[in-house]
Structure 1
């Protein structure tokens, strides 16, 4: 008698490939199942592991089996909720949604995806694990903050598609869509940082200073300086560290903008930003190790502006557009020195807008990456020095001397970084040219 039935198709999966897919699905299912198990849910570690494995098998078998698996997971969700209702515990809506997401992620793993299902499952696990913190944040959300989030969504989803594409002026300097993307990106970064500040900003003056600096470094310095005037003896050292961390956050935010808009510009200015951040961090750690001044009884309570508002959006847009146009025109008329002057001026108004303008000009080919990098560094320098003027209002000589010395050290580190960047610039230019030739070469 034959061992195989005639007419039935057979298929063999590549052993290593299917093993990797199943292992990834199992790991992701156990990740979210571990969180559910810790909370004492009926569907825990093993259930979510099985669901993700089942989804991977369905995804590997094809579309029909994938739909069958999702239907089975939906049926399992129905049985789970019926059981909890009979026990008088109510419905398990969050766990049910997590099971459906897990099944879909398993299907993606079975189809050969790796990054997307992993990202989805990490996000889903974070949403489950941060239940209390997210609930507390939503309950403490003010009406103004909610309007701020809705306005950001409207500007990004409604207004952006209606803007014209490309340049609208004969000099090819004004591109409404590019300018609006920059506005939305800067505002979104500020909004996310505002959320982080609201979640974790009450952990201490130093952490408040850093997270506040990501939102708005100048307002953070003003708030910390005002606290020094209220309690000068107990708050000097924490304010010193908080202001340094606020300026460090400003540098980190500007470097992130360069990474998003023009990575080659960041590559040219990376030694400068790295040395400035290292120096600022070292000064903060050194202040911690000294520990001479008593700590304040309570951390600073910063009062920052709303994360996003229409006047703030218009301010970012106008500043960016003015700096973008002036930077391009002055560079054409007066060379690099004209652009550097505009960058310094932009640092006084908004270093984020000035850095974004420099990166955008470089990405459009109006500036070389090295010139744009120097302009971004100059804007950051100007913002750093400008923040020191707010400390002068405290009239506290030890704090002023300490921060002036610290800012000078950070600035000298930035100058050293500029020299290093200038020394490696020929190598970077050669590497960029090789990369451009390799990407432009036709594939065989």
Structure 2
């Protein structure tokens, strides 16, 4: 096993070394090390790690080896920078990583070492793309990224993972207890979990953030179809609104805009399935048919449109989205999510499952993410049945689809609006039929 570990260390060093050697030859420059240097550094790290394993009390050799490699790298950096004027330390840091990988492999951290080697080589190889990405970043986006890091890595771990009812809040306890019947009901609705609510904020803003980055760097201007798909990751309603207004301006172009809206909406169906998979995967087997069938119907309509319009005029359209992440909208979503949780549970206690369905209908008018995650969470906790959760989510999706149909009909071109209403009608009929009869 020791021999295999040793050869793995050499292989990982070679992966990074080959990338460095290729870069040096491609740019015809001289820099610190090459493939042989990186392989030898990984071998040296493996040798040091092996000695510390077999000789009891010899862990000091790792420190000695580390200092020696640092001295070697610093000396090499001084010589190379004086000769070439290159002050970058990318190769030097990569060399140090190679040495440490050799040690980690011999210590048994195989998976970690492989991941680090692959990530390091990837970062080195994608230098032009990373630099290009950095040049495109605006100050607002940088601040947005930092805000996202704060809410996900700083705020989230500090929040208590405990579910509270309104009666648990000291500021409301006396007031609620003055109404015994209301207090009895409200005490059963322990759905306010700060950690879980904030986790949903992070989850949803994360999806929006990724969608925004894709749109900015891949470019929504490559076509309405790409706009629809990438926009559907962020907001299919925003895509519908934007393309509807454009369809009224460019009345001669209808089907490409219809296809863009259908792609965005079908992507939204897939997004709902993904959210359920992450929160409560046991519901997926019930939702895959109604929601999956609606997605399939939507994408099928897109295929039909493109087949009937092979020579359609290519139209480029940039959909206007807000900042990739803003704290106030995130907090509003968190409050809305908590409100949906409360209303859903309250209506379920008062009206039974029919109360949940009403909550799904009303929530879907504005957003599908909150009700989807709420139902998945309540079902996971055992507060509602899987069937009730699935039905409520499907109702919310249908409600949201009706809203987008209304937007298209009211704000889009006449022919465009008729196409949207017709296709959405088919999609809804298919989804509800599967839900009711399958």
Task: Answer whether TM exceeds 0.5 for this pair.
Answer: yes
SS at match of 2:245: helix
Aligned residue number for residue 388 of structure 1: 405
Number of corresponding residues: 403
Determine which of 308, 314, 322 is the counterpart of 1:305.
Answer: 322
1:40 to 2:40 alignment: no
Distance 1:290 1:336, change over 3 A: same
Determine which of 107, 110, 121 is the counterpart of 2:117.
Answer: 121
How far apart are 1:321 and its partner, in Å?
A: 0.6
Aligned residue number for residue 217 of structure 1: 236
* Structure 2 contact 13–39 (Cα < 8 Å) conserved: yes
Aligned residue number for residue 178 of structure 2: none
Map 1:341-420 → 2, pairs under 5 A: 341-415=358-432, 418=435
SS at match of 2:288: helix
How far apart are 1:166 and its partner, in Å?
A: 0.8
* Structure 1 contact 343–379 (Cα < 8 Å) conserved: yes
- Point out where structure 2 has 5 or more consecutive residues left out of the alignment: 26-30, 54-58, 166-186
Aligned residue number for residue 348 of structure 2: 331
- Point out where structure 1 has 5 or more consecutive residues left out of the alignment: 1-13, 423-444
Distance 1:352 1:88, change over 3 A: same
Report the Cα distance in structure 1 between the residues aligned to 2:428 and 2:299, rounded to whole angstroms: 13
Aligned residue number for residue 206 of structure 1: 225
Report the Cα distance in structure 1 between the residues aligned to 2:293 and 2:10, rounded to whole angstroms: 43
How far apart are 1:199 and its partner, in Å?
A: 1.0
Distance 1:293 1:40, change over 3 A: same
1:182 to 2:200 alignment: yes
How far apart are 1:110 and its partner, in Å?
A: 3.5
Distance 1:173 1:291, change over 3 A: same
SS at match of 1:305: coil
* Structure 1 contact 133–199 (Cα < 8 Å) conserved: no
* Structure 1 contact 358–376 (Cα < 8 Å) conserved: yes
Distance 1:74 1:321, change over 3 A: same
Report the Cα distance in structure 2 between the residues aligned to 1:222 and 1:168, rounded to whole angstroms: 38
How far apart are 1:161 and its partner, in Å?
A: 4.2
Q: TM-score, normalised by structure 1?
A: 0.79
How far apart are 1:60 and its partner, in Å?
A: 5.3
Report the Cα distance in structure 1 between the residues aligned to 2:39 and 2:303, rounded to whole angstroms: 44
Report the Cα distance in structure 2 between the residues aligned to 1:144 and 1:76, rounded to whole angstroms: 42
* Structure 1 contact 269–373 (Cα < 8 Å) conserved: yes
Distance 1:340 1:71, change over 3 A: farther
SS at match of 1:40: helix
* Structure 1 contact 362–368 (Cα < 8 Å) conserved: yes
Distance 1:395 1:165, change over 3 A: closer
Determine which of 245, 267, 275 is the counterpart of 1:249.
Answer: 267
* Structure 1 contact 33–44 (Cα < 8 Å) conserved: yes
Aligned residue number for residue 183 of structure 2: none
Determine which of 68, 77, 93 is the counterpart of 1:81.
Answer: 77
Report the Cα distance in structure 1 between the residues aligned to 2:11 and 2:416, rounded to whole angstroms: 52
Report the Cα distance in structure 2 between the residues aligned to 1:370 and 1:116, rounded to whole angstroms: 42
How far apart are 1:243 and its partner, in Å?
A: 1.5
1:165-190 deviations in Å (ceiling 9; x for gaps) = 41222331211221111112211221
Report the Cα distance in structure 1 between the residues aligned to 2:113 and 2:430, rounded to whole angstroms: 42
* Structure 1 contact 84–92 (Cα < 8 Å) conserved: no
Report the Cα distance in structure 2 between the residues aligned to 1:104 and 1:303, rounded to whole angstroms: 46
How far apart are 1:108 and its partner, in Å?
A: 3.7
How far apart are 1:73 and its partner, in Å?
A: 4.8
Q: TM-score, normalised by structure 2?
A: 0.80
* Structure 1 contact 183–317 (Cα < 8 Å) conserved: yes
Distance 1:282 1:31, change over 3 A: farther
SS at match of 2:252: helix
Determine which of 212, 219, 229 is the counterpart of 2:248.
Answer: 229
1:13-69 deviations in Å (ceiling 9; x for gaps) = x47xx53x4565455444444443442264455544554455455555546365566
